[in-house]
Structure 1
Amino acid sequence: MRILLLLLIGLITCSTSAQSIRKYSNEFLNIGVDAAAFGMANAVTATTGDVNSSYWNPAGLTRLEDNEIALMHASYFANIANYDYIGGAMPLDDRSAVGFNVIRFGVDNIMNTTDLIDNQGDINYDRISLFSAADYAFTFSYARQLPLDGLSYGVNAKVIRRIIGDFANSWGFGLDAGIQFQSKNGWEFGVMARDITTTYNTWSIDEDEYSSIQDAVEGQNQELPETTEITLPKLQLGVAKSFKIRYDFDIKTELDMHMRFTQTNDLISSSAVSMTPSFGFEVGYIKMIYLRGGVGNFQNVEQLDQSTKVGFQPGFGVGFKYKGIHVDYAFTDIGDQSVALYSNVFSLKLDWSVFR
């Protein structure tokens, strides 16, 4: 019971640091969407061109030929946490498109034992209640082709909602922007800037509920954490090349560079900027069956003996497409291949023509 309460206090404190403004938040938005992208180690900034572009690069929405909807589910940490996504997009005309998606990352059915023992010192298991700790993101996207052939741009407006039972909740708002360019010789380029205005989350904490946690664990600090956190801007650069072999096979390769403007454990790191690459490929047969692979998220992981080891995140996947129905599967994790548990990720995408 004490361990659960300490974990809950830690979760609240980590979300609202003792500093007046915490510089890292909304990490659930770095996981990604779409099993096809996970299979390519998230190296899709330059090539994304469907409903999932709202997340990866909204400029890709201009490639839509019809309305599309997408669904995805994944379980992490031995099914403790659930990650769900639903998205929809539609062309407005032959030059512009819009999209909308919702992401939820949450841990449900957490036991609240703060009222387990009453004022008389008696234990009553009927006083145990359940709550959820969940993060939500709602994204609205707009994309348009520019007069230069092959060049398009897109923007995202996103609203962040984070809830920790009745103890605390927050609202946040941010903007993303992306550009894509498709050359006539098969080369593709993409730029995705996330949280370009710096995303702010403002927390509201129920002092009575929070105090009940502190009272349940002796010796805890009674001071409430600060209530503001920010998400710093990030930049993704991508370059891709597509090939065709004997009419039956299509090969797509992409190399991305993920940049954060702070010092991290990324493969290349300084006080000004940190960078880590990712590479992915996709082999398609008669535009129906797809095999994918990739590697990314290279990190300098400190070992117990104070030495460092380079960790990375591999991805593998397969896909099937038939008459507007896309079913994709990926086998990957959300961190170092030697630390985090692997997950099975499934996603479904439907062209609206299926319903006509």
Structure 2
Amino acid sequence: MNRFTLSFFVLLMLLGSLSTMAQVATPKYSNEFLNIGVGARALGMGNVQAAIANDATAGYWNPAGLLSLRQKYNIALMHSELFAGIAKNDFGSFAMPLDTNSALAVSVIRLAVDDIADTRRLQNEYGYIQYDSIRFFSVADYAMLVSYARRSQLIEGLQLGASAKIIYRNVGEFANAYGFGVDAGAQLTRGSWQFGLMAKDVTTTFTAWTHNVEALEEAYQQTGNDLPESTAELTLPRLVFGVGKTFRFNDKLSAILATDLDFTFDGRRNVLLNSDVVSVDPHVGVELAYAKTVFVRGGLNNYQETQSFDGSTTKRMQPNFGVGFTTKGLNFDLAMSRVNDKESNAIAGSGTSSVIISFGYSFN
């Protein structure tokens, strides 16, 4: 246990140097589908979870939170539709404690746009339209996370965790990619205060792309573009620091107020605090609970500053809202947010509503 704790903190200390070395050859927004978020509780609170994640979704948000599971077996399922249902985001997880000081979880994520029409063969050699020649394909991103958490024997209230993730990305018959990375997290409880630290892609995540040149050759020649080549990309580390506080008003009514700060190192981003070296994206969320059965949630995240055609700028944040209900180990959560398609990392206030539905079940 001592060696595990020491290795964890050494890994976090090396994070800064790793991001500096990798900065030169890494694209911005690499594997960004892994930063959208999972679970209606979290998304209803503006993706604030680093310090307070305590269910089967913790394998994604902060694996250290797996030590707070209330039952022996825990299942979490989520379905959400983005951009008015064009994209589907699905998540499933199973988590369980191994003993009083450790826990394990396996999670799967799929983000996809399905039924895209391939019209390359729509017109035959005689110039006639053949609708039966249309084929359909999907653009899908997959990730599987295997998470492990262990309680520190050196510092009371400290929980540590790590997730190994395997990534598969597919663009029909045209291209696919495989990747591998590691996340690491920690949570610390002090009375009614909770602190969390999550280091995503702490070792940088390597993703290798392979293109089917034969399938693309004709279309690229007609448009005069160069054929794509097999490439590799690195996803730089991202640090998330979270703080939460629990308020108890009476025997039945309580609340959690929490905030997360996302630190990215892949160049200037359209966030509240940004520079060429590091960008900081704050978000805040609140959860009101009645008798630990009925929940009302809200959150703000994804600060954006956009410029209009007349040169004026507009500042906005994404509002989120959610409700939840829990009984006899079964929980149902619903969240709504709005999606903005102005920028690949933006989920902001002007766009179409997104609905997130989550189910969970825990039992002994």
Does the 8 Å contact 2:208/2:230 carry over to 1?
Answer: no
CA separation in 1, counterparts of 2:84 and 2:133? Answer: 28
- Counterparts in 2 of 1:343 and 1:244: CA distance versus 1, 3 Å: same
User: How many equivalent pairs are there?
Assistant: 332
CA separation in 2, counterparts of 1:178 and 1:283? Answer: 26
Question: 1:71 Cα shift?
Answer: 0.5
The corresponding residue for 1:135 is 141
Question: 1:117 Cα shift?
Answer: 2.1
Matched ranges for 1:270-285 at <5 A: 270-285=275-290
The corresponding residue for 1:237 is 241
Secondary structure in 2 aligned to 1:342?
strand
The corresponding residue for 2:85 is 79
Cα displacement string for residues 237-258 of structure 1 (whole angstroms, at most 9, x for unaligned residues): 0111101111010111101111
Asked if residue 173 in structure 1 is aligned to residue 180 in structure 2, the reply is: yes
CA separation in 2, counterparts of 1:293 and 1:338? Answer: 14
CA separation in 2, counterparts of 1:246 and 1:156? Answer: 37
CA separation in 2, counterparts of 1:230 and 1:269? Answer: 21
Secondary structure in 2 aligned to 1:32?
coil
- Counterparts in 2 of 1:208 and 1:20: CA distance versus 1, 3 Å: farther
Does the 8 Å contact 2:210/2:229 carry over to 1?
Answer: no
User: Match for 1:298: what amino acid?
Assistant: Y
Correspondence for 1:260 among 261, 264, 267: 264
Question: 1:212 Cα shift?
Answer: 3.3
Secondary structure in 2 aligned to 1:212?
helix
Matched ranges for 1:73-222 at <5 A: 73-147=79-153, 148-183=155-190, 185-215=191-221, 218-222=222-226
CA separation in 2, counterparts of 1:146 and 1:20? Answer: 36
CA separation in 2, counterparts of 1:304 and 1:283? Answer: 41
Question: 1:322 Cα shift?
Answer: 0.2
Does the 8 Å contact 2:302/2:348 carry over to 1?
Answer: no
CA separation in 2, counterparts of 1:163 and 1:84? Answer: 16
CA separation in 2, counterparts of 1:20 and 1:227? Answer: 12
- Counterparts in 2 of 1:241 and 1:195: CA distance versus 1, 3 Å: same
The two structures, once aligned, show a CA RMSD in angstroms of 1.6
Cα displacement string for residues 131-168 of structure 1 (whole angstroms, at most 9, x for unaligned residues): 11100011110000001211011001001100000000
User: Match for 2:99: what amino acid?
Assistant: D
Asked if residue 53 in structure 1 is aligned to residue 64 in structure 2, the reply is: no
The corresponding residue for 1:10 is none
CA separation in 1, counterparts of 2:347 and 2:74? Answer: 33
Secondary structure in 2 aligned to 1:48?
coil
Q: Could you state the TM-score of these two structures normalised by the residue count of structure 2?
A: 0.88
User: Match for 1:189: what amino acid?
Assistant: F
Question: 1:200 Cα shift?
Answer: 1.6
CA separation in 1, counterparts of 2:229 and 2:306? Answer: 29
Question: 1:311 Cα shift?
Answer: 2.0
Does the 8 Å contact 1:267/1:310 carry over to 2?
Answer: no
Correspondence for 2:251 among 247, 252, 270: 247
CA separation in 1, counterparts of 2:230 and 2:240? Answer: 31
Cα displacement string for residues 233-283 of structure 1 (whole angstroms, at most 9, x for unaligned residues): 111101111011110101111011111112111110011100111111111
Does the 8 Å contact 2:247/2:254 carry over to 1?
Answer: yes
Question: 1:298 Cα shift?
Answer: 1.0
CA separation in 1, counterparts of 2:318 and 2:202? Answer: 26
CA separation in 1, counterparts of 2:262 and 2:282? Answer: 6
CA separation in 2, counterparts of 1:227 and 1:114? Answer: 25
CA separation in 2, counterparts of 1:80 and 1:281? Answer: 29
Question: 1:20 Cα shift?
Answer: 7.5
Secondary structure in 2 aligned to 1:92?
strand
The corresponding residue for 1:40 is 45
Q: Could you state the TM-score of these two structures normalised by the residue count of structure 1?
A: 0.90
Secondary structure in 1 aligned to 2:99?
coil
Secondary structure in 2 aligned to 1:41?
coil
Cα displacement string for residues 100-131 of structure 1 (whole angstroms, at most 9, x for unaligned residues): 11110101111111112233433322211111
Cα displacement string for residues 22-62 of structure 1 (whole angstroms, at most 9, x for unaligned residues): 34321111110110111111111101111110011000001
- Structure 1 unpaired stretches of 5+: 1-18
CA separation in 2, counterparts of 1:54 and 1:214? Answer: 41
Does the 8 Å contact 1:43/1:254 carry over to 2?
Answer: yes
Does the 8 Å contact 1:160/1:173 carry over to 2?
Answer: yes
Secondary structure in 1 aligned to 2:234?
strand
Does the 8 Å contact 1:276/1:298 carry over to 2?
Answer: yes
CA separation in 2, counterparts of 1:309 and 1:132? Answer: 35
CA separation in 1, counterparts of 2:207 and 2:353? Answer: 30
Question: 1:308 Cα shift?
Answer: 2.7
